[in-house]
């Protein structure tokens, strides 16, 4: 079972489903109203915490669970690690490496949304928020800014600040289009997550070209577990785990030693 909600999860599901002896299920939180089509059977709506997930793993006889959720889906990742440990099944995370600053980037980091809102400063600015609609509340404390807010589904109710406009969009977003958007809207600051990967890097590259400051919210800490940083690595780790007898479930220290 792959815990998804990301492009990588979808791609990994397709790769593993191509294996002749492997039945793959993809699990989604069920937040997005019209999720994109997935290449394998999907379950949606969550499990009811770590205990519910553990029950699900036992009931379905799942051999291997891969946490391929977004790097900011901290609760699901914690639940997954706990349920995997409790049930003794194979488990690893697929985590996109974070973006690293390069010359010309004007980045600042913030511990959370509240810190990012404060970092925008007292003077009104035109701000592009790309945080996901459930993480906008901290910006109520900074109503002096003019916000452009992009999300997959509509922000309902709208953010109660005097000036906010909304843009619906689902990545990937390329640099040229992001640059046109930032220029057209006269954006003076961006607040984003350090999602890693290519799908949402366009705004980061465009901000660099336009010398626009970017406030990146820190990634939450991940539970300790074996970790893949790419699809290829994840596919190899899955193949290895599924080739072993169920009792020899992939444990974090063993996987770390093997370096796969």
Does position 74 bind ligand NAP by CB under 6 A? Answer: yes
What is the C-alpha to C-alpha distance for residues 185 and 217, in angstroms, rounded to an integer?
22
Instruction: Pick one of 41, 48, 101, 154: the residue that binds ligand NAP (CB under 6 A).
Output: 48
- Please give the size of the binding site for ligand NAP, defined by CB under 6 A: 24
Q: Which is nearer to ligand NAP, 213 or 223 (CB)?
A: 223
What is the C-alpha to C-alpha distance for residues 157 and 142, in angstroms, rounded to an integer?
18
* Number of neighbouring beta carbons within 10 Å of residue 165: 11
Instruction: Pick one of 15, 55, 86, 132: the residue that binds ligand NAP (CB under 6 A).
Output: 132
Q: Which residues contact 125 (CB under 8 A, 6 or more apart)?
A: 145, 146, 188, 189
Q: Which is nearer to ligand NAP, 28 or 188 (CB)?
A: 28
Does position 25 bind ligand NAP by CB under 6 A? Answer: no
Does position 196 bind ligand NAP by CB under 6 A? Answer: no
Residue 168, classed as helix, strand or coil, is strand
Instruction: Pick one of 15, 58, 72, 126: the residue that binds ligand NAP (CB under 6 A).
Output: 72
State the nearest-atom distance from the C-beta of 2 to ligand NAP, in Å: 8
* Residue 153: DSSP 8-state: S
Helix (H) or strand (E) run with residue 237 in it? helix 231-243
Q: Tokens representing 71? A: 């790097």
Does position 27 bind ligand NAP by CB under 6 A? Answer: yes
Q: Which residues contact 156 (CB under 8 A, 6 or more apart)?
A: 133
Nearest-CB residue for ligand NAP: 5
Does position 220 bind ligand NAP by CB under 6 A? Answer: no
What is the C-alpha to C-alpha distance for residues 240 and 238, in angstroms, rounded to an integer?
5
State the nearest-atom distance from the C-beta of 203 to ligand NAP, in Å: 14
Residue numbers of the site for ligand NAP (CB under 6 A)?
3-6, 27-29, 31, 46-49, 52-53, 69-70, 72-76, 79, 132, 193
């Amino acid at each position: 079972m792959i815990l998804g909600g990301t492009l990588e999860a979808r791609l990994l599901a397709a790769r593993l489903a191509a294996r002749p002896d492997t039945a793959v299920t993809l699990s989604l939180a069920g937040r997005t109203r019209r999720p994109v089509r997935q290449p394998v059977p999907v379950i949606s709506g969550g499990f009811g915490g770590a205990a519910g997930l553990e029950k699900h793993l036992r009931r379905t006889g799942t051999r291997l669970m891969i946490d391929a959720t977004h790097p900011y889906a901290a609760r699901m990742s914690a639940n997954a690690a706990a349920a995997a440990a409790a049930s003794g099944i194979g488990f690893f995370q697929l985590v996109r490496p974070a973006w690293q600053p390069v010359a010309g980037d004007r980045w600042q980091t913030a511990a959370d949304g509240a810190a990012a809102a404060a970092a925008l400063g007292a003077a009104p600015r035109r701000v592009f928020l790309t945080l996901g609609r459930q993480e906008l509340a901290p910006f109520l404390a900074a109503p002096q800014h003019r916000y452009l807010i992009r999300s997959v589904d509509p922000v309902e109710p709208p953010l109660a600040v005097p000036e906010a406009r909304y843009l619906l969009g689902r990545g990937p977003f390329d640099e040229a289009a992001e640059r046109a958007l930032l220029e057209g809207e006269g954006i003076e600051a961006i607040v984003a997550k350090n999602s890693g990967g290519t799908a949402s890097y366009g705004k980061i590259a465009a901000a660099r070209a336009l010398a626009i400051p970017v406030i990146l919210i820190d990634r939450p800490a991940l539970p300790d577990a074996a970790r893949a940083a790419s699809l290829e690595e994840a596919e190899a780790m899955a193949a290895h785990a599924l080739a072993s007898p169920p009792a020899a479930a992939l444990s974090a220290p063993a996987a770390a030693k093997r370096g796969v």
